Amino acid sequence: MSVTRPRGGGIIAFTFFMALLLTILPLPEWAGPYRPSWVVLVLIYWCMALPTRVGVGVGWLMGLLLDLINGVLLGQHALALAVVAYLATLLHQRIRVFPVWQQALTVLVLVGLSQMLVLWVLGVTGAVPRSWDYWLPSLTSMLLWPWVFVILRDVRRRFGVQ
């Protein structure tokens, strides 16, 4: 394998930035609980596509930003996203060859796992959400994965991010 020089770090940063924007974009009241975990979706994609560049460290950093922007306890999303990034890089060779619906199921599991880790932290600090709506982001993330995947893949190819 020839030496590939890292390129397009700005593009990766930009996609994470867009994900953060989408995370705090105002939605109508009823749609709030359905908001997918954009940052986790983008993180899973880059961990899968470029595991040598985006991994646990980037996941942790994005989690920290997510904590800040949501105004929650510092470190809870950082913890969850670091674990998700670890698993995604570990499984990247399998996820890559899955058909897209199977990838979506993997995304469901990974986003669900991140939510469960956050839920544990919330439980320890005594701020447990009482409704089952809490788990809706996992479902919407799964349903949106095919589109996120296609868009990010096209972005990666167009700009030659490697």
Binding site for another protein (CB under 8 A): 17, 20-21, 24-27, 29, 32-33, 35, 55-57, 60, 63, 65, 68-76, 78-79, 82-83, 86, 121, 125, 127, 129-130, 133-134
**Min. distance of Cβ 62 from another protein in angstroms?**
12
CB of 119 to another protein, least distance (A): 11
Residues counted in the chain: 162
**Pair 39, 16: CB distance under 8 Å:** yes
For residue 91, the minimal CB distance to another protein (Å) is 14
Question: Which residue lies nearer to another protein by CB, 48 or 82?
Answer: 82
Buried b (16+ CB within 10 A) or exposed e, 78-104: bbbbbbbbebbbebbeebeeeeeeebb
Q: At what angle do helices 56-70 and 76-90 cross, to 10 degrees?
A: 150
Residue closer to another protein, measured from CB, 44 or 104:
44
Taking the complex as a whole, how short is the minimal distance between the CB of residue 90 and another protein, in angstroms? 10
